[in-house]
Structure 1
Amino acid sequence: MAILYKSQDFIHWTMHQDPLYSSSKTEMWVCPDFFPVSINDTNGVDTSIENPSVRHVMKASFNSHDVYIGTYVNEQERFLPDADFTGTSSDLRFDYGKFYASKSFFDSKKNRRILCAWVNESDSMEDDLKKGWSGLQLESGSIFEVSGITASQADIEIMFELPKLEEAEFIDTSLVDPQLICDKQDASVTEKFRPFGLLALATMDLTEQTAIFFRVFRDHKDYKVLMCSDQKRSSLRNELDKTTYGAFVDIDPQREMVSLRTLIDHSIIESFGGKGRSVITTRVYPELAINDEAHLFAFNNGSLSVKVSRLNAWSMNKAQITAGGKTETLSEDFSRKK
């Protein structure tokens, strides 16, 4: 639960008699966050804003995920959720992958809210100690390499156009868990409009690969786009967490292209579907696809063609850290076991 305290001098505090919000379906809440968001603009808003142009977000961390819900009712000092927690990937989340214990603050200079979080490890505690730190037509069944970049540290934007949507498979999205669909129907399971996307941190022979991909379904009224991140073949090592993640992306493929932006930094892959409407972050530890041996591919394993309308890719520079007036370039290889 989240408990509300009030103070007029930031020294003496009074607890409100009722919780701001509580749920019988959760364990202890970690790193709660509470802030307004504009319903008319993409800019962030100051935490103290309270008017009809904003809704409030309450975020709680538990079960290794950050979940956010509902609306704040100022007169009652209560938070009313749009829906209670279900404990499945159908709950609203900032990120549907390895993203936990986030906190945010408002940057008034650029009118944005900045979010910081942990990206959980996927390997063991023993490994932590060793490391020392915790317009192109893509035909059916085709794959091509995105070359000319450093695939182990890259920023990729790709957009897909989908013809013949009426041939998409029917699904009742109100009765399914998107993460379970992604787990059972991974990147190797082919249908007409699935799967298509990227293979990141892959070996040339695809022995190792992390697949970030989409599947398209028909619902009772419209079309549904499912985004998946499949780690099953991410590494030849067996002792790693290779959970597959999934989330529906709130876009209409009849009116807009299906977009994917993926940031790759050695062991972290962060993917934004539908211009950030759904986000999945993962940790992977390839045995072979590291540094210069890592490759990036675009693929379509469906039986229908999809059109790649845009593809931009960049190599990311190494991080520069300034401390004590000195700037150093971070060049240590975090992918390789020490």
Structure 2
Amino acid sequence: LWCWGDITWGHSVSTDLVNWIQLEPVIEPDNPSDIDGCWTGSATILSGGQPVILYTGGSRDKCQVQNLVHPKNPSDPYLREWTKTGNNPVIQPVVPGLNRSQFRDPTTGWIGPDGLWRIAVGAELKSYTAALLYKSEDFLSWTRVDHPLYSQNLSNIVECNMWECLDFFAVLPGNNTGLDMSAAILRGTKHALKMSVGYFDKYLIGVYDLKRDAFVPDTIVDDCRLWLKIDYGNFYASKSFFDSKKGRRIIWGWSKEADCRSDDVAKGWAGIHTIPRTIWLDSNGKQLLQWPVDEIESLRTNEINHQGLELNKGDMFEINGVDTFQADVEIYFELTSINAAEPFDPSWLLDPEKHCCEAGASVHGGIGPFGLVILASNNMDEHTVVHFRVYKSQQKYMILMCSDLRRSSIRPSP
């Protein structure tokens, strides 16, 4: 759970994505078009380097609209103050069959071959969920395109609901260099459409058909449970951006905390940002890959190195001399044999978290569990286990990575 309150846009600045300076909030609910909260949105750099932000605002009648803000002083390197456009909201939910309370989270804008700006907004309609497509000449006046960027019929989808926090970006198979959306015309370019669904961030890989102005996934899977996930852990509402200075695409998300409401109120926040990651498409063009940004390595000090450790079933090796609350671990496991791998059941793909729970860290299998015990108390009453298992699936092997949180926090009985 998390605490709802006055939903505003906080503001922090950094030169290295590691060390941050917290400034005053920049978008606060003070207009009829956002009085019920300034929700998710995206920044876009217009021609000439002018940044603007499109964000979703909630009104008193539970109607969601899209608003625009721009810097009050573009020469301020910190962009401390932002001004709401006088004609907000710039996009209203005037779409036949649209649920006015399910229309939010505009993407970063991109320019099409016709020179017009485009954005996509998540929406729930009577019979389908969609990434509605809008066009504009000036980023102020928007017109809805008569077809979505992509949509799916809800009646044919298993366990799917509205797509929140949309992200749409270009990727090149096997190339970890990021691409700006203007790269859509490059030969071989693919596109990723990311949506937040349920409790996870999921995505589809496909092509952006410029003639139809539509996203066409490489593979259509009706069952949302089988869609690829950005992260199988506690990771939601992620957003990416193209870092033109270092030629990479960076993504980060929101991780909900498990504190109770009173604890959240006492500390003043509910949820944290994850470490930013570089994200790219694998060489097969089928799956997104990611790795913490290089700048994180600047935090590494007092390295402890162990090599050639041989562990047998039931063995445990303790790493001493590290900060148990903040450690960056690189570990390589070399198995002596994988012949004992158990068969993989494809049904596990429908709910990997459930299988992780059933095949817990204390349940022995053919190969596994093996991994790390972290955040452990001296008597092991409290600990978190990150463990792996290996399964054989047809002509290949599958690796299951789990985190067992059942002993992660011991609270006194009420």
**Is TM-score (shorter-chain normalized) higher than 0.5?**
yes
Describe the shift of the 1:174–1:75 C-alpha distance in structure 2 as closer, same or farther (beyond 3 A): farther
Q: Cα RMSD over matched residues?
A: 1.9
Aligned-residue offset at 1:56:
0.4
Q: For the residues of structure 1 that align with 2:262 and 2:223, how far apart are their CA atoms? A: 33
2:213 counterpart of 1:77? yes
Deviations 1:267-293 (A, max 9, x none): xxxxxxxxxxxxxxxxxxxxxxxxxxx
Aligned to 1:91: 227
Amino acid at match of 2:362: S
Q: For the residues of structure 1 that align with 2:215 and 2:250, how far apart are their CA atoms? A: 22
2:137 counterpart of 1:8? yes
Q: For the residues of structure 2 that align with 1:229 and 1:83, how far apart are their CA atoms? A: 30
Aligned-residue offset at 1:53:
2.7
Aligned to 1:20: 149
Matched residue of 1:32: which SS? strand
Aligned length in residues: 238
Aligned to 1:281: none
In terms of mean alpha carbon deviation, does 177-186 or 215-224 score higher? 177-186
Matched residue of 2:328: which SS? strand
1:212 corresponds to which of 386, 391, 401: 386
Aligned-residue offset at 1:132:
2.3
2:193 counterpart of 1:58? yes
Q: For the residues of structure 2 that align with 1:149 and 1:83, how far apart are their CA atoms? A: 46
Higher RCO (CA 8 Å, separation ≥ 6 residues): 1
Aligned-residue offset at 1:178:
2.1
Aligned to 1:221: 395
1:43 corresponds to which of 155, 177, 180: 177
2:319 counterpart of 1:146? yes
Amino acid at match of 1:17: D
Contact 2:195–2:202 (CA<8 Å) still a contact in 1? Answer: yes
1:31 corresponds to which of 155, 165, 179: 165
Matched residue of 1:137: which SS? coil
2:203 corresponds to which of 56, 68, 74: 68
2:122 counterpart of 1:122? no
With normalisation by structure 2, the TM-score equals 0.55
Runs (5+) with no aligned partner, structure 2: 1-129, 271-307
Q: For the residues of structure 1 that align with 2:259 and 2:394, how far apart are their CA atoms? A: 41
Q: For the residues of structure 1 that align with 2:264 and 2:357, how far apart are their CA atoms? A: 27
Amino acid at match of 1:219: S
Task: Summarize the alignment of residues 278-289 of structure 1 with structure 2, pairs less than 5 Å apart.
Answer: none
Runs (5+) with no aligned partner, structure 1: 240-338
Amino acid at match of 1:92: L
Deviations 1:244-267 (A, max 9, x none): xxxxxxxxxxxxxxxxxxxxxxxx
Q: For the residues of structure 1 that align with 2:221 and 2:259, how far apart are their CA atoms? A: 32
Describe the shift of the 1:48–1:201 C-alpha distance in structure 2 as closer, same or farther (beyond 3 A): same
Contact 1:172–1:220 (CA<8 Å) still a contact in 2? Answer: no
Amino acid at match of 1:43: T
Aligned-residue offset at 1:29:
2.3
Aligned-residue offset at 1:218:
0.9
Describe the shift of the 1:9–1:183 C-alpha distance in structure 2 as closer, same or farther (beyond 3 A): same
Aligned-residue offset at 1:174:
5.5
Aligned-residue offset at 1:87:
4.0
Amino acid at match of 1:103: K
Aligned-residue offset at 1:172:
3.1
Describe the shift of the 1:238–1:19 C-alpha distance in structure 2 as closer, same or farther (beyond 3 A): farther
Matched residue of 2:354: which SS? helix
Q: For the residues of structure 2 that align with 1:29 and 1:218, how far apart are their CA atoms? A: 34
Aligned to 1:270: none
Aligned-residue offset at 1:193:
0.9
Q: For the residues of structure 1 that align with 2:223 and 2:259, how far apart are their CA atoms? A: 28
1:166 corresponds to which of 339, 351, 367: 339
Q: For the residues of structure 1 that align with 2:379 and 2:227, how far apart are their CA atoms? A: 37
Aligned-residue offset at 1:213:
0.9
Deviations 1:172-195 (A, max 9, x none): 336643222111011010123110
Describe the shift of the 1:7–1:229 C-alpha distance in structure 2 as closer, same or farther (beyond 3 A): same
In terms of mean alpha carbon deviation, does 169-178 or 29-38 score higher? 169-178
Amino acid at match of 1:115: I
Aligned to 1:234: 408
Q: For the residues of structure 2 that align with 1:163 and 1:83, how far apart are their CA atoms? A: 39
With normalisation by structure 1, the TM-score equals 0.66
Aligned-residue offset at 1:160:
0.4
Describe the shift of the 1:230–1:238 C-alpha distance in structure 2 as closer, same or farther (beyond 3 A): farther
Aligned to 2:249: 113
